[in-house]
Structure 1
Amino acid sequence: MIRAISVDMDGTFLDENGEYNRARFERIYAELVKHQIKFIVASGNQYYQLKSFFPGKDEELFYVAENGAVIFHQGELRSVNRFEERLVQKILRTLIQDYQDLQVILCGVKSAYLLKAADSNFKTFAKKYYFELQEVNSFDVLPDDTFIKFALDVEVTKTGQIVEDLNQMFNGEIRAVASGHGSIDIIIPGVTKGSAIQQLLNEWRVTPDDLLAFGDANNDIEMLQLTPNSYAMQESSPEVFATAKYIAPSNKEAGVLQVIEDYMEKSQRP
């Protein structure tokens, strides 16, 4: 019996326009509430951006944001995993000196930060995903914040090589992972959407067998590995297809909502 549902957002829950059928979701969500099924929004994106998709539900939903580095519920920070300041400075030096053609966002709990000198198109892109975003002259002096992730934008064709290079260069101090469409996240080793969701399941005394999970990119793999009720979206990465048990219809066809509706319908049959 399903007792919790976790959904990635971009490429999974959201359609190609970054939206979802809100009226349809409201009908489904009312059934989830009736059956005491918890809904987890699990994304590499910032909490402040994620909650904007679900107005009025901040008290009810659980947000696993920044690829599991933070958990928010009822508007409060429930859990945080942070990089040491020394390592933050080392990563920034490497990115800025060795990879002049990539764009960097330093993600903190309070805000995200990018350089004033960043590409204007990248700034526009960043504002779409980071609702709390500040521009800084340099990263020589770090802002007063707790740092939890780095988000990089690179040429799509270079993604795999840069991920491999960074993981080798930092040798277990970080984990670089592709999050789709030329985006790379640098995260804390062992801290993933899967580890954060497992933490919530433990609190609720819910087994992974009672979790329904959806994803499309490599930063979803640990979440999908948790449960036999795992779905790769129709346009997922090869690694996600190899991990998930099932394939959901495309995000362009509200595949997540289709699968949840099917589950709810089956659960109500005598």
Structure 2
Amino acid sequence: MAPFKAIAVDMDGTFLDDQKNYDKELFAYLLTKMNEQGIHFIVASGNQYERLRLDFVEHYQDLAFVAENGAYLIDRTQAVLTQALDLDVIKQVVTFKQAYPELHLAACGVKAAYIPHDEETDFVEGMKYYCPKHELIESLEKLPVDAYLKLTAGMRAEDTKPLLAALQAEFGQVLKITSSGFGSIDLMKKGVNKAQGLDLMLKRWNLGHDDLIAFGDGGNDIEMLTHAKYGYAMEKR
């Protein structure tokens, strides 16, 4: 028997190749073997649930998802937990952005991701891919009614570290701020991360972190990799 009962994988840079694909035939075979042994397969990603569901369109009913960096938990299509941001904090971040024109921002809710229509084209197109359920809106100052799971900020790769430092200095006491890679920063409710989300999911199955093996590659995977009994960081290519 395997020395673990749950497997958690990040997607971009870990489970997916550079073309955002994976061997679907091999995965189907392995998933069957995991199900036979009672091993849970968990997709732990900063991506929108709808993006992850499409990535596993043939098998999502049999999987668990720690989506939006732990802010949205789904177990075999059943929504387990939503950890939403305070709207006043969102307004503060939107105001903060005005002093940083190099910072591009979108708000990710349960119903959809909301992207200002006048944001930089590359940022908008990237958000459309990672958030298939999205709406273009006039401004983040007038958000639709939704439960907001995170704010996603985009920037040039070389601006990631200084902007991360600025956001941490301003909001580090009230938000969990993490980089999922150079050019991307996510802001969630304080205390939310993949490890916390995985812990909550494992408890549903009467398991603990000693039953978990995890794979990741980015800053938003650090807690998950150190929390699991076996944590493996992907080599950067």
Fold shared, TM-score > 0.5 on shorter chain: yes
- Which of 37, 61, 64 is 1:62 aligned to? 64
Task: Tell me what 2:174 maps to.
Answer: 173
- The answer on whether the counterparts of 2:73 and 2:201 sit within 8 Å (CA) in structure 1 is no
Q: Which amino acid aligns with 1:180?
A: G
Shift of 1:58: 2.6
What residue number does 2:205 align with? 204
Seen in structure 2, the aligned counterparts of structure 1 residues 171 and 23 have a Cα distance that, compared at 3 Å, is closer
Residue 192 of structure 1 and its aligned partner are, at CA, apart by 0.4
Q: Which moved more, 1:170-179 or 1:10-19?
A: 170-179
C-alpha distance in 2 between matches for 1:68 and 1:203 = 15
Q: Does 1:146 align with 2:135?
A: no
- Asked if 1:11 corresponds to 2:13, the answer is yes
**TM, length-normalised to structure 2:** 0.95
Quick check: which has more Rg, 1 or 2?
1
> 2:44·2:69 contact (CA, 8 Å) conserved in 1?
yes
Is the counterpart of residue 159 in structure 1 residue 194 in structure 2? no
Please give the TM-score of this superposition, normalised by the length of structure 1: 0.84
Residues 1:50 and 2:52 are matched in the alignment: yes
Mapped to 2, the partners of 1:227 and 1:138 lie a distance apart of 40
**2:130 is aligned with 1:121:** no
Residue segments in structure 1 that go unaligned for 5+ positions in a row: 236-249, 251-270
Q: Whole-Å Cα distance in 2 between the matches of residues 66 and 134 of structure 1?
A: 17
Give yes or no for contact 1:46–1:66 (8 Å, CA) kept in 2: yes
Q: CA deviation at 1:181?
A: 3.1
CA distance in 2, matches of 1:128, 1:227: 30
Identity %: 34
Give the Cα–Cα distance (whole angstroms) in 2 for the partners of residues 175 and 36 of structure 1. 33
* Residue number in structure 2 paired with 1:189: 190
In structure 2, the CA distance between the partners of 1:228 and 1:73, relative to structure 1 (3 Å rule), is closer
Q: State the one-letter code of the partner of 1:232.
A: A
1:32-90: CA deviation from partner (whole Å, max 9, x where unpaired): 01101000000000000001111232321001100000101232321011111111111
Deviations 1:199-235 (A, max 9, x none): 1112211121221100000100111111231101111
CA distance in 2, matches of 1:139, 1:105: 8
Is the 8 Å Cα contact of residues 8 and 42 (structure 1) preserved in structure 2? yes
1:58–1:73 CA contact under 8 A, matched in 2 = no
- CA deviation after TM superposition for structure 1 residue 30, in Å: 1.1
Partner of 2:77: 75
Name the Cα RMSD after superposition.
1.2
Is it true that 1:224 corresponds to 2:230 in the alignment? Answer: no
Is 2:106–2:140's contact at 8 Å kept on the other side of the alignment? no
Name the residue aligned to 2:99: 98
Do the aligned residues in 2 keep the contact of 1:176 with 1:184 (CA within 8 Å)?
Answer: yes
